[in-house]
Amino acid sequence: MGKEIGITVKKSEDFSEWYTQTVIKSELADYAPVKGLIVLRPDGYSIWESLKSSLDTKFAATGHRNGFLPSLIPESLLAKEKDHFAGFNPEVFWVTKSGDSELGDRLALRPTSETLAYTLFSKWIRSWRDLPLKINFWNTALRAEIKATKPFLRTSEFLWQEGHTVHMNMEEAEKEVTDILSLYKKTVEEELAIPVITGKKSEKEKFVGAVYTLTMESLMPDGKALQMGTSHFLGQNFSKPFDVKYADKENVESYAWQTSWGVSWRLIGGMIMVHGDDKGLVLPPRVAPIQVIIIPIYYSDEDKEKIQKISQEIEEKLRESKIRVQVDNREQLTPGFKFNDWEMKGIPLRIEIGPKDLEKNKVTFARRHNRQKDDQEIVGLVDRVISELDKIHEDMFADAKKILDDKTVEVNNYDDFKTELEKGRLIKAPICDNPKCEEEIKEETSADVRVITENSSDTSSKCIKCSNQSVIRPLFARGY
C-alpha cells in the first residue's frame, strides 16, 4: 500500500505522464478551468519570484528599469510590422466586444509587446540624450495553443519578462543583445543549475521581425531541446514603421537601433524535466521555496519536548542566516510519510532529528538530489548547511552538464543523423547555405536547427542533405 500516493510512473518509462504528475502533485501548479491555462500555486510562484529577483538585480545593475504595459493592443498597431503580424496572427486572442456592443478596432490580448511599446518609444524619444532607453516589463503574454498544451512549456498564457531597448547605433544594440544572453545564461546556470548552449537561431527559426535572434538551448531527458531564452537584435526593422527616431549631436534625425529579449516560466518547466526523478521534483537550492526541512522524530513525551525545542533552535539559527527553513510539526503523520512527501516536493536538504541523533549531539542530513544520508555535528551546523546547499547546486549542475555533453554528438551524414536523432541526441551536423535543406530536414525528421554556436563555420564538409559544400555546423534536435 501507499505506492499510489506518489508519482505512479517512472520518468524513464512515461516521461510525459511523469512530467504532468510531478507538476500537479508537487503543487507547483494546477490546471485552470480553461483549456491551455494553468494556475501557479505558491510553491511554483515562489520559484518564479526567485528567478525574477535574480534577474531584476542584474537588469538594474546594467541600467534597465521596469515598467508596465496594458494587455490590450489595437489591431492597427499590431499589424504595423507585416512579418511580425503574420507570424503572430494565428495565435492571437481577439477582443471584439465590450458588453454587447461591437468594438470598432479589434483588440488583441498581447502576444508580445513590441508594437505597443514602440509606439510609446516614438513619443518618448526626441534626441540622443534620451538614449539608450532600457526598459523591462514583467507581465504575461497570450498565445492561443489549440493543441498539445503542457504546463509551463506550452500554455496559452504565460508569465515572462520582456525587455526592450533603444540605442543610437548598431554596435551598442548588438552589444546589448549579447550582454543579455550572457546574463540569462548566468541566471539559468547559477539559479536553476541547468547547463545551456548559446548561439544564434537560423534565419528560419529567428523571431519574426528580428534581424537575428540569439538563443540559449538545453536538452531535456526525452531528447527534445528546450529554448530557454532569446535575445533579439531588431536592427531598424521596428524603428522605421514605428517612427522611433532621435536627433543626434549635429541635429540630424536618424532611426534608432533596437533590441528585445525575454525568458518565461518555461524555465521552471526545464528545471522540472532536467532535475526531477522517479520520486518527483528535485529543486535546485537557490530557487527552492523551502531549502531545508526539519523532521523531528520522537517516541515519548519527554523526547518530544526535547526534540521540538532543539528543532526550533536550529530553525531559528538557520533563518538568521537567511536560509529558507521549516520544521514539519504535523503530528498526525509519521516520519516516513513526511520523508516521502518532502521528497516529492523536491526540498534539497532534509534534517532529521531524533533521540538517536541527540545522544551523539548530532543530526541526520538527507540530500534530495542523490538521496545520501549522513550524521552531522550540531556544533557549527549553520555553516555546514550553507556549504551543503552550495555543494548540492554544484553537483546538480555537474550531473546535468555531463548528460548534456554526453548527449551532444557530431555526425557527417544523413543516416547517422537520423539514427542519433532517434536516440534523443543534440546533433552537430554540417549543412550548406540553401535554406531548402534545413526545411526538408525538418519536414522529414521534425528536427530543426536549435542553435548555431560560435566558431561553427565549416566549409570543408558536405551538407548532410544535398552533399554540396557545407557552410556551418549547427546543432539540431527536435524541439518543444
Partner RNA sequence: GGGAGCGUGGUCUAGCUUGGUAUGAUUCUGCGUUUGGGACGCAGAGAUCGCGUGUUCGAAUCACGCCGCUCCCA
Class of residue 168 by CB neighbours under 10 A (exposed 0-12, middle 13-18, buried 19+): middle
Nearer to RNA, 4 or 415 (CB): 4
Nearer to RNA, 323 or 441 (CB): 441
| Nearest distance, CB of residue 416 and RNA, angstroms | 18
CB of 114 closer than 8 Å to CB of 232: no
CB of 169 closer than 8 Å to CB of 419: no
Query: Which strand (E) or helix (H) includes residue 298?
Result: none
| Nearest distance, CB of residue 26 and RNA, angstroms | 11
DSSP state of 237: T
| Nearest distance, CB of residue 367 and RNA, angstroms | 9
Nearer to RNA, 246 or 342 (CB): 342
Beta-bridge mates of residue 349: 292, 367
Binding site for RNA (CB under 7 A): 1-6, 15-17, 19-20, 31, 34-36, 146-150, 279, 297-299, 304, 331-337, 339-341, 343-344, 352-358, 364, 366, 371, 373, 443, 446
Nearer to RNA, 55 or 297 (CB): 297
CA neighbor of 51 nearest in space, from 146, 227, 189? 189
| Nearest distance, CB of residue 237 and RNA, angstroms | 29
| Nearest distance, CB of residue 283 and RNA, angstroms | 16
**What type of residue sits at position 151?**
P
Nearer to RNA, 304 or 317 (CB): 304
| Nearest distance, CB of residue 396 and RNA, angstroms | 18
| Nearest distance, CB of residue 15 and RNA, angstroms | 7
| Nearest distance, CB of residue 121 and RNA, angstroms | 35
CB of 67 closer than 8 Å to CB of 105: no
| Nearest distance, CB of residue 150 and RNA, angstroms | 6
Site of grid cell 545564461: 185
Nearer to RNA, 301 or 320 (CB): 301
CB of 191 closer than 8 Å to CB of 54: yes
Q: What is the 3-state secondary structure (H, E, C) of 4-41?
A: HHCCCCCCCCCHHHHHHHHHHHCCCEEECCCCCCEEEC
**Buried-exposed string 297-331: b where 16+ CB fall within 10 A, e elsewhere:** bbeeeeeeebbeebbeebbeebeeeebbbbbbeee
Nearer to RNA, 61 or 148 (CB): 148
Nearer to RNA, 80 or 150 (CB): 150
| Nearest distance, CB of residue 472 and RNA, angstroms | 24
**DSSP assignment string, 153-215:** TB-SEEEEEEEEEEESSHHHHHHHHHHHHHHHHHHHHHHS----EEEE--TTTSPTT-SEEEE
CB of 314 closer than 8 Å to CB of 328: no
DSSP state of 141: E
Question: Could you tell me the CA-to-CA distances from 287 to 47, 60, 247, 277 in Å, in that order?
Answer: 5, 20, 45, 18
| Nearest distance, CB of residue 403 and RNA, angstroms | 20
**DSSP assignment string, 368-415:** TTT--EEEEESTTHHHHHHHHHHHHHHHHHHHHHHHHHHTEEE-SSHH
93-98 sheet: strands from edge to edge: 72-74, 101-109, 93-98
| Nearest distance, CB of residue 446 and RNA, angstroms | 5
Nearer to RNA, 20 or 178 (CB): 20
| Nearest distance, CB of residue 424 and RNA, angstroms | 11
Nearer to RNA, 402 or 423 (CB): 423
Nearer to RNA, 6 or 87 (CB): 6
292-296 sheet: strands from edge to edge: 325-327, 292-296, 349-353, 362-367, 373-377
Nearer to RNA, 304 or 462 (CB): 304
Nearer to RNA, 344 or 411 (CB): 344
Site of grid cell 509606439: 119
SS3 474: coil
